[in-house]
């Protein structure tokens, strides 16, 4: 922590640079790669193979599932879905593949599925390859979420200004802005697929940050009140506060990350595909951003503000 505070200018510049690079990559990708972020599977385009069987021939769709498994497994489907038909509506098995999947391989698998359906006596069964283009909606929800989260950050600033010091409030505000900026930048940089749950994880970033910064400022405020520190330099007290809050803040961040990792692990067991891990990846990035912002931005920016204050007073 001592080093961080000594190199506080560099810490702040580094964070700004990372955010700037992320924004630049996101902007370039917005024009060249289909979006500022890599939108998740619900909005992305994909290829799908659909196998259908009619109800009298295949009562519960077991044959459709068996044919799909035999013809399509091993081709890298990232999601499978089965819908049991009713009456005239056929059973339907859908295997979803990334857009980059080879048409030749998928067409050959479709031919194989048609053959298998015929072999199993499914006269009405069909197998088809489809190309699907996704559409996003609800952009106003992003705006609403932005307003809500910005209001929360402003409230935190006002609360900290009343409870602690104005400088602490400004530093907390700056840390929140930096952590959300880092989160957006890292999502854009890593091209981690994101859905609208990314908004919810922005709240995770902010809450973890609120906890960590409250711990830090409480420690610093206590050291200010301690008479034995009367002759100690302010920056030194900030350093001590930062060092004392590293452990509890680390516990908070590690615990939050562990929750995401454990839940992600079990989700991966349920559906072993890279796309399954995407939301947990976003959650993990959220926690990492909170930790980075707390470790590098919060004490550094408050230390910088204290330094500026001292210069002004002298």
Partner 1 sequence: MNKVKSAIITAIVVAAIVVAAVFGVASFNIGVADRYNSIAANIPLGSEFSGYVYTNVYPEGVLSADDYAALDDEDKASYEARGGLYVSLEESGFESYEELAAAVESDASVVAARLGDRGLTDFEVTVTDGAAIVAAVPSRYTYAAYKGDSSTDHSNALSVAAGTLSMLLADGELTLRTTDGSITVDEEAGTTYDTTRFADEYTDADILGDGSATYPFVSSNEDVASYFSSVSAFTFGGSHVLTLNLSEEGREAIHTISTYAASSSSQTMYLCIGDTQILSIPCSATIDTDVMQYTMSTHDAAMDAASVLNSVVSGSQLEVDYQPLVSVLSGTARGGENAALLAFIGCIVVLVAVCAAFVIKYKKLGGVLAMSCVILALVLLYALNILAIQTGIAVLVTCGLALVLFGAANLWLLAEVRAQCKTGKTMQAAVKAAYKRVLLPVVDIHAVVLVAAILVAAVCAGEAAACGLILVVGTIASYALWWFTRLMWFVCSAPVRNKFAFGGFKREVYGDE
Touching partner 1, residues 98-117 (CB under 8 A) = none
Q: What 8-state DSSP symbol labels residue 296? A: I
Could you tell me the smallest distance in angstroms from the CB atom of residue 80 to partner 1? 7
Residue 27 or 81: which CB sits closer to partner 1?
Answer: 81
Burial class (CB in 10 A: 0-12, 13-18, 19+), 31: exposed
Q: Is 80 in the site for partner 1 (CB under 8 A)?
A: yes
Q: Is 18 in the site for partner 1 (CB under 8 A)?
A: no
Q: Is 15 in the site for partner 1 (CB under 8 A)?
A: no
Could you tell me the smallest distance in angstroms from the CB atom of residue 78 to partner 1? 10
Could you tell me the smallest distance in angstroms from the CB atom of residue 296 to partner 1? 20
- From the list 15-23, 177-185, 278-286, 306-314, the region that binds partner 1 by CB under 8 A is 278-286
Residue count (the chain): 314
Q: Is 177 in the site for partner 1 (CB under 8 A)?
A: no
**Subset of residues 211 to 240 that bind partner 1, contact rule: CB under 8 A:** 211, 214-215, 218
Least Cα distance to 291 among 240, 257, 244 occurs for 257
Burial class (CB in 10 A: 0-12, 13-18, 19+), 298: buried
Residue 9 or 130: which CB sits closer to partner 1?
Answer: 130
Q: Is 248 in the site for partner 1 (CB under 8 A)?
A: yes
Q: Is 118 in the site for partner 1 (CB under 8 A)?
A: no
Taking CA atoms, 192 is separated from 106, 156, 283, in Å, by: 26, 29, 11
What φ, ψ does residue 297 adopt, rounded to 5°? -90, -45
End-to-end Cα distance, the chain: 26
Rounded-to-integer distance, Cα 197 and Cα 99, Å: 23
Could you tell me the smallest distance in angstroms from the CB atom of residue 200 to partner 1? 4
Rounded-to-integer distance, Cα 122 and Cα 127, Å: 11
170 close to 148: Cβ distance less than 8 angstroms: no
Q: Is 133 in the site for partner 1 (CB under 8 A)?
A: yes
Q: Is 169 in the site for partner 1 (CB under 8 A)?
A: no
**Binding-residue total with partner 1 (CB under 8 A):** 81
Q: Is 256 in the site for partner 1 (CB under 8 A)?
A: yes
Q: Is 129 in the site for partner 1 (CB under 8 A)?
A: yes
- From the list 4-12, 26-34, 273-281, 296-304, the region that binds partner 1 by CB under 8 A is 273-281
Q: Is 34 in the site for partner 1 (CB under 8 A)?
A: no
Q: CB neighbours of 231 closer than 8 A, spacing ≥ 6?
A: none
* Radius of gyration for the alpha carbons in the chain, expressed in angstroms and rounded: 27
Q: Is 139 in the site for partner 1 (CB under 8 A)?
A: yes
| 91-98 sheet: strands from edge to edge | 46-53, 91-98, 79-83
Q: Is 243 in the site for partner 1 (CB under 8 A)?
A: no
């Amino acid at each position: 922590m001592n080093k961080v505070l000594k190199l506080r200018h560099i810490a702040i510049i580094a964070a700004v640079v990372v955010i700037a690079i992320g924004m630049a990559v996101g902007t370039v990708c917005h024009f060249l790669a289909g979006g500022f972020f890599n939108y998740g599977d619900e909005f992305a385009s994909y290829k799908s193979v659909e196998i259908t069987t009619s109800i009298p021939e295949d009562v519960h769709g077991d044959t459709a599932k068996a044919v799909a498994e035999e013809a399509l497994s091993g081709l890298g489907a990232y999601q499978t879905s089965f819908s049991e038909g009713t009456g005239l509506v056929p059973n339907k098995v859908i295997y979803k593949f990334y857009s980059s999947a080879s048409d030749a391989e998928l067409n050959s698998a479709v031919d194989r599925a048609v053959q298998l359906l015929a072999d199993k006596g499914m006269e009405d069964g069909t197998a088809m390859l489809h190309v699907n283009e996704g559409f996003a909606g609800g952009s106003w929800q992003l705006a609403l979420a932005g307003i809500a989260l910005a209001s929360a950050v402003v409230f935190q600033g006002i609360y900290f200004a009343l409870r602690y010091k104005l400088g602490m409030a400004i530093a907390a505000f700056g840390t929140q802005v930096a952590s959300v900026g880092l989160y957006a930048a890292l999502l854009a940089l890593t091209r981690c697929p994101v859905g609208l749950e990314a908004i919810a994880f922005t709240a995770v970033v902010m809450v973890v940050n609120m906890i960590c910064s409250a711990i830090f400022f409480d420690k610093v405020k206590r050291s200010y009140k301690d008479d034995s520190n009367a002759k100690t330099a302010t920056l030194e007290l900030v350093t001590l506060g930062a060092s004392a809050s590293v452990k509890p803040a680390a516990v908070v961040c590690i615990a939050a990350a562990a929750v995401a990792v454990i839940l992600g692990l079990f989700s991966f067991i349920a559906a072993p595909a890279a796309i399954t891990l995407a939301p947990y990846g976003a959650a993990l990035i959220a926690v990492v951003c909170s930790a980075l912002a707390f470790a590098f931005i919060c004490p550094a920016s408050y230390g910088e503000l204290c330094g500026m204050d001292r210069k002004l007073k002298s």
